[in-house]
A and B are shown apart, each in its own frame.
Chain A
Amino acid sequence: MSMALEVSGLTVRLGGREVLRDVGFALAPGAFCGLIGANGSGKTTLLRTILGFETAAAGRVTRDGAVGYVPQKLELAPDMPVRARDLVALGLDGQRFGFSFPSARRRRVVAEMLEAVDLLGFADQRVGELSGGQLQRVLIAHALVSKPKLLLLDEPLANLDLRAAAEIVALLKRVAGQGVSVLISAHDMNPLLGAMHQLVYLANGRAASGRTEQVVRTEVLSELYGYHIDVIRVHGRILVVAGDGHVHAHDHEHVATIP
C-alpha cells in the first residue's frame, strides 16, 4: 500500500538558520497524525515545506495525490462579502481564471460538504462573522471539497474553547475514517490523544515519531521534553501533564493510573 505522505531526511534552512534537520516520517492512508511541538519548534515550517512553499536543503517529500490545507490564522474583516458557501466553493476551483457560471451540481457539492462539517445552517453567513470553531470547520470544508488524500492543519485548535476543539477533533476523526490522511499540528497534544494514531514530535529542529501508544509514555515524553512528564489515565482516557521536575520512582511505569 502506498503512503499518503512520506518525508525523509528533510532539512530546511530559513535565513541561514537550520529550522528542521533530518526529519522523517510517513502517513498511511486514513492515518490521523499529530504534529506536536512548542511554538517556534518548526511545525509551520514543516507543513509549509510539505506544501511546497519552502524549499528543502536536503531530503524529500513524496505526496500521493492532492493536498488540502487549513492555515493557522485567518483574519477576516466582518464586512467581507463572502459567505461560508462561497469559501467552500472556492475550494473547488478558486485558482482558476475565466468566467464561472452557477450550476446546480456545484451548489449540491458545496451543500453536501457544509453538511458534512455540520454547518449547513450557516451557509449564508459572512465568513468574517463566524465563530472561531465555525470558521475552522468552513476552512476544513474548503480544504476537503476537492477530495484530497491528505489534509494538513496548522494549529486549528489554538484559539478554540474546549468544546469547539473537541468537535473539530471528532470531525477530523470522521474525515480520517473515510481514508483521508490527517496531519494536524498542535502545541498541546491532550485534545488529540483520543483520536490520533501516530505522532511526530518536533523539538530543536529534530523529529521523533511513532505510534501514539509507543510515544505517549512517561519515559519517552520525559526524554523528549527534557522534563518530567506524567501520562495519566482518568475515566478510561489518557492525559499528558507536566510533573514537578523531580525524577519519580515510578518513571519506569508506562502509565500511571488514577483509579
Chain B
Amino acid sequence: MFVPYLLDGWIVATLVALASGFAGFFVVLRRESFAAHALPMAAFPGAAAAVLFGVAQIYGLVAAALLGVGLLLWLKRGQRNDAATALALVALLALGALFLSLSGRYADAVYALLFGQVFAVGPGDIAPAVALGVLVPLAVLAGFRPLLLSALAPELASVRGANCGWVDALFLLLLALAAALALPVTGALLVFSLMTGPAGAACVLLRSPKAALALSVGLALALIWSALALSYATGWPAGFFTGALAAVLYLAARMWRRARRARPSPGWA
C-alpha cells in the first residue's frame, strides 16, 4: 500500500485533505454550500481542456476554477437567478464532455474526472499540490478572524472596518484553489463531500471555532486516508468511500449531538 509508485498518491491526497479541511470549515460556517458545489463543476471543463491540449491538469483546473469565481461574483452582484445559474453549470459540464470526447480519451477520462482517480497522480503533480496544499491553509489561518466575523454578520465586520466584498472574494478564491487541487483525487462530483462532511461534523461536535477548524482538518485527513486504504484493500473506487464515509461522519456527529442534548447537561446553567 505504501510502495514507492503509490507514495505520490498518498502525499497529494494528504495535501488535498489539508486544503479541503481548512476551506470546508468556512464553507459550512458561511453556508456557501452552493459555491462548494458549483466551483468543482466550473473546474471540470478546465481539467478536460488540459487533457485535450496535453497540459498538466492542475493549470487547467486552477484557471477554470478562477473563471468560476469570477462567474459566481458576477452572479452575486445581480439578483441570483436559480435557473440561469443551474443552466450555466450544466453548460460548463457539457463543455467538459465535449473537450474529453475530442481528446479521444472520453471513456476513462470521464470516470476519472467525475469520480476521482487518486493513484494516477504522477511525480510532476507533487510540486503544484504542495504549493496549493500549503497556501490554502495558511491563507485561511491568516484570514481567520475576518472570515469568521463576516460569516456571523457582514455588517458587524463592516463596522469594525473589514471590507466584506474583499473577504468574500478571498474566501471564494481559496475555495476555488482547494477545489482545483481536490478534483483529480476525489472527482468533480465528490469534492463537496470531502469539504463539507468532515467540516460539518466538526461544527456539530465542537463549540470553539479554532477547535472545530482543527477537528475539521483532522477528520478530512482521516477520511481521505481511510478512503484510500479501503480502496486499496478492496479494489473499489476511492470516490465511493469518500462519499459514503463523509455522510457517515456527518450523520454520526448529528446523532451524537442529539443524544447528548436529550440529557440535561450541567454546562448549561
Direct touching of A and B (C-beta under 8 Å): yes
- Quick check: A94 and B29 within 8 Å, CB to CB? no
Mark B137-159 against chain A: 1 for CB-CB distance below 8 A, else 0: 00001111110110111011111
Q: Is A90 an interface residue (CB 8 A)?
A: yes
CB distance from A210 to the nearest CB of B (A): 28
Q: Determine whether the beta carbon of B146 is less than 8 Å from that of A124.
A: no
Q: Which residue of B lies closest to A74 (CB)?
A: B153
In B161-208, which residues have CB < 8 Å from any A CB?
Answer: 161-162, 202-204, 206-208
- Cβ-closest 7 pairs across A and B: A94-B149, A81-B212, A95-B162, A95-B160, A69-B159, A90-B149, A95-B161
Cβ–Cβ < 8 Å partners of A217 in chain B: none
Check A126–B152 contact: CB distance below 8 A.
Answer: no
Give me 29 A-to-B residue pairs in the complex whose CB atoms sit less than 8 angstroms apart, sorted by A's number.
Answer: A51-B159, A53-B158, A67-B159, A69-B155, A71-B153, A71-B155, A74-B152, A81-B29, A81-B203, A81-B206, A81-B207, A81-B208, A82-B152, A82-B207, A83-B207, A83-B208, A86-B148, A87-B152, A90-B148, A90-B156, A95-B161, A95-B162, A97-B142, A99-B144, A100-B145, A124-B207, A125-B207, A126-B207, A142-B156
Is B127 positioned at the interface, with any CB of A under 8 Å from its CB?
no
Give the A interface residue count (CB, 8 A): 33
Write out the residue numbers on chain A whose beta carbons fall within 8 Å of the beta carbon of B202. Answer: 81
B side interface size, CB within 8 A: 33
> Mostly helix, strand, loop or mixed at chain B's interface?
helix
**Alpha-carbon distance A91/B212, docked complex (angstroms):** 20
- State A67–B211 Cα separation when bound (angstroms): 31
A1 on the B face (CB < 8 A): no
Contact of A94 among B141, B157, B207, B268 (CB under 8 A): B157
Residues of B within 8 Å of A97, CB to CB, are: 142-143, 145-146
Closest chain B residue to A148, Cβ basis? B159
Q: Which of A46-105 contact B (CB under 8 A)?
A: 51, 53, 67-69, 71, 74, 76-77, 79-83, 86-87, 90-91, 93-100
In the assembled complex, which residues on chain B have CB atoms less than 8 Å from the CB atom of A121?
A: 269
CA distance A95 to B141 in the complex (A): 13
Given the known A-B contacts A81-B29, A121-B269, A124-B267, are A69 and B148 also in contact in the complex, defined by CB atoms under 8 Å? no
Question: Max chain B CB contacts within 10 Å: which of A71, A97, A142?
Answer: A97
Question: Would you list which residues of chain A between 128 and 157 have a CB under 8 Å from chain B?
Answer: 142, 146
Residues of A within 8 A of B211 (CB): 81
Which chain A residues lie closer than 8 Å to B146 at the CB level?
A: 94-97
Apart from A83-B208, A94-B157, A95-B157, what 6 extra A-B contacts exist at CB < 8 Å?
A: A51-B159, A87-B152, A94-B148, A95-B160, A97-B145, A98-B142
Q: How far is the CB of A200 from chain B (nearest CB, A)?
A: 20
> Which A residues are in CB contact (< 8 Å) with B208?
81, 83, 86
Is there a chain B Cβ closer than 8 Å to A127's Cβ?
Answer: yes
Minimum C-beta distance from A139 to chain B (A): 8
**Contact A80 B203, beta carbon cutoff 8 Å:** yes
Q: Within the assembled complex, what's the spacing in Å between the Cα atoms of A11 and B160?
A: 25
B209 at the interface (CB under 8 A from A): yes
Determine the chain B residues whose CB is within 8 A of the CB of A82 once the complex forms. 148, 152, 207, 209
Looking across the interface, which residue of chain B has its beta carbon closest to that of A82? Answer: B209
A125 to B261, CA, bound (A): 13
Residues of A near B105 (CB, < 8 A) are: none
Cα distance, A248 to B204, chains bound together (Å) = 60
B80 at the interface (CB under 8 A from A): no
Min Cβ gap A18→B in Å is 23
Tell me, in angstroms, the Cα distance from A74 to B31 when the chains sit together: 14
Q: Which residues of B contact A94 (CB under 8 A)?
A: 145-146, 148-149, 156-157, 160, 162
Q: Mark B115-142, 1 if CB is under 8 A from A, else 0.
A: 0000000000000000000000000011
**Residues from chain B with Cβ under 8 Å of A90 in the complex:** 145, 148-149, 152, 156, 160
Q: Which of B29, B204, B207, B212 has the most CB atoms of chain A within a 10 A radius of its CB?
A: B207
Interface centre among B148, B153, B206, B211 (most CB of A within 10 A): B153
Docked pose: A71 CA to B156 CA in angstroms: 7
Residues from chain B with a CB closer than 8 A to the CB of A67 are: 159
Contact B142 A80 (CB under 8 A): no
Q: In whole Å, how far is A13's beta carbon from the nearest beta carbon of chain B?
A: 21
